[in-house]
């Protein structure tokens, strides 16, 4: 099987045309890597999703927590079922504002739509990860850090990329790097392991969060676009491929190669353990 | 009939769970008032939609213009059919990035999804239009002016409103008014008819555009939040209800009433003619 979708707990392939996720982008998502029925970073995914639901007003009063329980139950039951329990997968979980009357004003009772999309995993780790600096700049929003469904900027940045480029790096309007279009960024600068802040206009990825909690050497610090010229090493970080060192960056047509660095190699090693299949408790 | 939907030309009520409109908010919409099968501002709606499709990359190379022709054909054919030709309606037209593989990067060939949602019109012009100043501020984006489907800010602003309030006014981060959550704003200040600029973070509404093109006295000028205390008159403006004078604004618990003004009354009169049913050519 290549893909399979549950909507509100039932197999389905389409969403109501009255759904506020479709109409207004009122939704959140998580992209979860699953190793043989086990989702290593699940607790971080669920915590971010719940935080986002509060920020986007997807908790209706007396149902607070119900959608969270339903999502977790449906997701874990799916992973335990053949054939899903034995295949590596990428699962996208989307929660939207559900159906409502026309207009921005949320209905008095919100019934979020829960979408669980299971995709067989086909990720091939590239030999040389080449990235490009995008011209698209991320702008600050009141929903910074969340993985919401308003992603026009990321699409515009990704649309700049040629086929030979694996990912695009994106800066903010001040000229500081924020992240890649679908991954966070970790760099070695002056023998320090740093990742840029993302609260204003990026996504606080769960792999980045796991690294910040488990690798004391990694700290949050601003990284200017100019630092790409001199940084010692850099890597893309997300829950799909862990820590993926960058070989070189295309800076408006000019290639700048990164090196290897002990701190980055240790980080790769540390992170790879996360995705070793484990017995689920 | 209360509502009816065409998706890519066929009656339907659901959209693929792989649609980029649902997954990433990659879409645009128009809300079109229809008077007995006639859409008075149609040419402005279509022009804005096409402009937005170019900005969002929804024109794939050799199909440029095809989606536009399909939308116009499907919309006008629908309006000509019983019972739609004889009922006042509000029609939402949505165009999304269509289905694609996972990830922000657009597919090489984009096949936009065309959604035409027909709703019977139930608008009752309120006696006294009361608005409130929202705490939510609009942030600048690279897609300012367009009516795209990334509307988390508008939802947050609308969620602030009590049931007694008809609409919310929203300012930018500099403290200048931009618009209402789903309408533009026209004010009389110092006996001048002005509307705030919307290119940075608002929506350039088609009714506002029509007024700017047809009413020489109306000009674009910044309007500070503070000006609410002293402005002579104000109105909400959109393609659904034309020009709707505001009775009073709730400024953090304190009501400030607006007056009547000859300039605003002339504007209401001028705009009402737009929606008189006409023979379709």
pLDDT band at B97 (very low <50, low <70, confident <90, very high): very high
Domains of chain A, CATH where assigned = 3-120 (3.30.470.10), 130-275 (3.20.10.10)
Per-residue pLDDT tens digits for A204-229: 999 999 999 999 999 999 999 999 99
For B155, nearest residue in chain A (alpha carbons): A104
What ipTM was predicted for this assembly? 0.95
Q: How far is CA A68 from CA A59, A72, A281, B6, B173, in A?
A: 9, 6, 20, 33, 33
In chain B, residues with a C-beta closer than 8 Å to the C-beta of A25 are: 24-25, 149-152
pLDDT band at A281 (very low <50, low <70, confident <90, very high): very low
**DSSP letter string, A5-17:** EEETTEE-SEEET
Residue A277 has a pLDDT of 60
Inter-axis angle of helices B206-214 and B42-55, to 10 degrees? Answer: 120
Per-residue pLDDT tens digits for A95-131: 999 998 889 999 988 899 999 999 999 888 899 999 9
Least confident stretch, A132-136, B61-65, B179-183 = B61-65
Q: What is the mean pLDDT of residues B180-205?
A: 98
Residue A280 has a pLDDT of 47
pLDDT band at B60 (very low <50, low <70, confident <90, very high): low
How does A128-153 read in b/e, with b if 16+ C-beta sit within 10 Å? ebbbbbbebbbbbbebbbbbbbbbbb
Per-residue pLDDT tens digits for B217-229: 999 999 999 999 9
Percentage of chain A exceeding pLDDT 70: 96
Residue B65 has a pLDDT of 78
Binary contact (A104, B157; C-beta < 8 A)? yes
Q: Which residues pair with B251 in a beta bridge?
A: B254
Q: Is A137 on the interface with B (CB under 8 A)?
A: yes
Evaluate if residue A169 carries a pLDDT over 70. yes
Binary contact (A153, B137; C-beta < 8 A)? no
Residue A48 has a pLDDT of 95
Residue B276 has a pLDDT of 78
Phi and psi, residue B274, nearest 5°? -60, -35
Q: For residue A147, which of A207, A196, A190 has the smallest C-alpha distance?
A: A207
Evaluate if residue A174 carries a pLDDT over 70. yes
Q: Which residues pair with B137 in a beta bridge?
A: B171
Percentage of chain B exceeding pLDDT 70: 96
What is the rounded distance in angstroms from the CA atom of residue A107 to the CA atom of residue A85?
38
Binary contact (A24, B151; C-beta < 8 A)? yes
Q: What is the mean pLDDT of residues B240-265?
A: 94
Binary contact (B22, A22; C-beta < 8 A)? yes
> Across the interface, which of A105, A139, A158 has its CB nearest the CB of B139?
A139
Q: Which residues pair with B118 in a beta bridge?
A: B4, B91
> Across the interface, which of B24, B141, B155 has its CB nearest the CB of A26?
B155
Q: Are strands B242-245 and B233-238 parallel, antiparallel or unpaired?
A: antiparallel
pLDDT band at B62 (very low <50, low <70, confident <90, very high): low
- The whole-chain average pLDDT of chain A stands at 94
Evaluate if residue B281 carries a pLDDT over 80. no
Tell me the shortest Cα–Cα distance from B217 to chain A, in angstroms. Answer: 31
Per-residue pLDDT tens digits for B235-246: 999 999 899 999
Instruction: Please compute Rg for chain B using Cα positions.
Output: 19
Per-residue pLDDT tens digits for A30-82: 999 999 999 999 999 999 999 999 999 998 655 667 888 999 999 999 999 99
3-state secondary structure of B166: coil
CA dihedral over B247, B197, A135, A196, signed as positive or negative:
negative
């Amino acid at each position: 099987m290549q893909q399979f979708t549950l909507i509100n707990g039932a197999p389905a392939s389409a969403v109501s045309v009255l759904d506020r996720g479709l109409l207004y982008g009122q939704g959140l998502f998580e992209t979860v890597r699953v190793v043989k029925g086990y989702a290593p970073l699940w607790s971080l995914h669920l915590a971010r999703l719940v935080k986002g639901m509060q920020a986007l007003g997807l908790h209706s009063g007396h149902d607070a927590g119900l959608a969270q329980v339903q999502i977790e139950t449906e997701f874990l039951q799916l992973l335990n079922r053949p054939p899903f329990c034995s295949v590596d997968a990428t699962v996208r979980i989307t929660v939207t504002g559900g159906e409502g009357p026309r207009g921005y004003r949320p209905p008095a009772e919100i019934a979020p739509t829960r979408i669980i999309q299971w995709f067989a995993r086909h990720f091939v780790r590239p030999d040389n990860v080449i990235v490009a600096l995008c011209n698209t700049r991320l702008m600050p929003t009141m929903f910074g850090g969340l993985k919401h469904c308003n992603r026009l900027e990321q699409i515009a940045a990704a649309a700049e990329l040629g086929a030979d480029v694996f990912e695009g790096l994106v800066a903010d309007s001040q000229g500081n790097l924020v992240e890649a279009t679908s991954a966070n960024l970790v760099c070695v600068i002056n023998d320090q392991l740093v990742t840029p802040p993302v609260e204003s206009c990026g996504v606080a990825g769960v792999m980045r969060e796991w690294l910040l909690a488990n690798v004391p050497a990694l700290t949050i610090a601003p990284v200017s676009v100019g630092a790409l010229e001199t940084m010692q090493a850099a890597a893309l970080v997300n829950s799909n491929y862990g820590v993926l060192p960058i070989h070189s960056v295309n800076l408006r047509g000019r290639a700048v190669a990164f090196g290897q660095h002990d701190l980055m190699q240790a980080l790769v090693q540390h992170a790879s353990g996360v995705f070793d299949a484990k017995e689920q408790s």
